[in-house]
Homo-oligomer: A and B are copies of this chain.
């Protein structure tokens, strides 16, 4: 159908005129997927512990719901995600008009940034926090201001001070934090709400909240227009590949998403899976137990090999490798070449760590063996 094999040349003037903003952006991806790494190294990973996926899997009821819905996949999904939003509204005791469902938190982050940020508008985040947020801010021409972590935790007070200083329209704060696994109490966060500057909105990314200790989610009025919260079915509910996230907030803020979102962006089976997952509270408890046990096991393995696990309120553990970023990178590269997919923070001094996702015993056993082998190799060669 296409003439592809021989080279056709065209005058220089032809072709797309991208916007100045688009021309200024690099072609980039916030995360290289494990599949691309597998293609590069030529074999599949033996243990997939790098993307904070929930290897314990979703509720069997969610899998069954998606399998049933696959037979009806000739139908577009309900663009309003009505059933899922109704169920979430009931779950939280809020209105369904306080909820927008989207293609993962990643998709919702893009929409929120687009709604708020014109070129040059100020945004604040922590240096080393979620790269996909930064990707979207850059993608809409925002001026991103970064605040350092303090003791491996994001500092909400410092983020808000910076927001006031630069007149930010948007502040990103993840609780619990990724990639360090640290957590603030809900009371600490709530105490900071009065410090949100006028005309600024605090984006509270709670992707990992279900793994956190009781009280980590602040009790904030849903109609407070200064805050928008984002949550997901990708982590505790084990549906990363389904792409279902949601934002909770004041109804006018939520309604604004209707102006720009891809109304037909949701997968129909994913909606059904998320609904079933939400309704299986028992499986969620099971998952939380598995994750808590796995965190302890990862910490024990780290200690056994002379490394220092950091406390975690998530489904991953940041392990302080006891050196600088170069040293941690050598350990990470060693693990990858041993077939263990893990990742690491990008910014010093957090990049002294590797980040290991919770996993069942078999994966932990492989990680344990590989870590020992890698460390022995590195120590004997140094």
Contacts and interface: CB of A to CB of B under 8 A. Distances in A.
A105 to B, nearest CB: 10
A259 B139 contact: yes
A166 interface: no
A122 to B, nearest CB: 11
A42 interface: no
A25 B75 contact: no
A262 B18 contact: no
A124 interface: no
Given A73-B66, A74-B58, A241-B77, A256 B2 contact: no
Nearest to A26: B259
A4 interface: yes
Given A1-B219, A27-B256, A36-B78, 20 more contacts: A1-B93, A1-B217, A2-B248, A3-B221, A4-B93, A7-B223, A10-B224, A14-B196, A15-B225, A16-B116, A22-B116, A25-B260, A28-B258, A51-B76, A56-B74, A57-B74, A63-B71, A107-B262, A132-B264, A243-B266
How large, as a class, is the contact surface on chain A?
A: 35 or more
Interface in A267-309: 267-270, 273
B36 A221 contact: no
Contact of A14 (B94, B104, B198, B222): B198
A207 to B, nearest CB: 12
Contacts of A1: 92-93, 217, 219
Q: How many copies does the complex hold?
A: 2
A250 interface: yes
A382 interface: no
Interface in A6-33: 7-8, 10-11, 13-22, 25-33
A62 B264 CA distance: 21
Q: Is the interface of A mostly helix, strand, loop or mixed?
A: loop
B73 A115 contact: no
Contact of A74 (B30, B78, B240): B240
Given A250-B15, A269-B241, A35 B67 contact: no
A4 B96 CA distance: 12
A8 B223 contact: yes
9 contacts: A2-B219, A15-B201, A25-B259, A27-B255, A36-B82, A63-B73, A69-B241, A77-B241, A265-B265
A242 interface: yes
Interface in A29-57: 29-33, 35-36, 39, 48, 51, 53-57
Interface of A: 1-5, 7-8, 10-11, 13-22, 25-33, 35-36, 39, 48, 51, 53-58, 63, 66-67, 69-80, 82, 92-95, 98, 103-104, 106-107, 110, 114-118, 121, 132, 139, 169, 196, 198-201, 217, 219-226, 228, 234, 238-243, 248, 250, 252-253, 255-256, 258-260, 262-270, 273
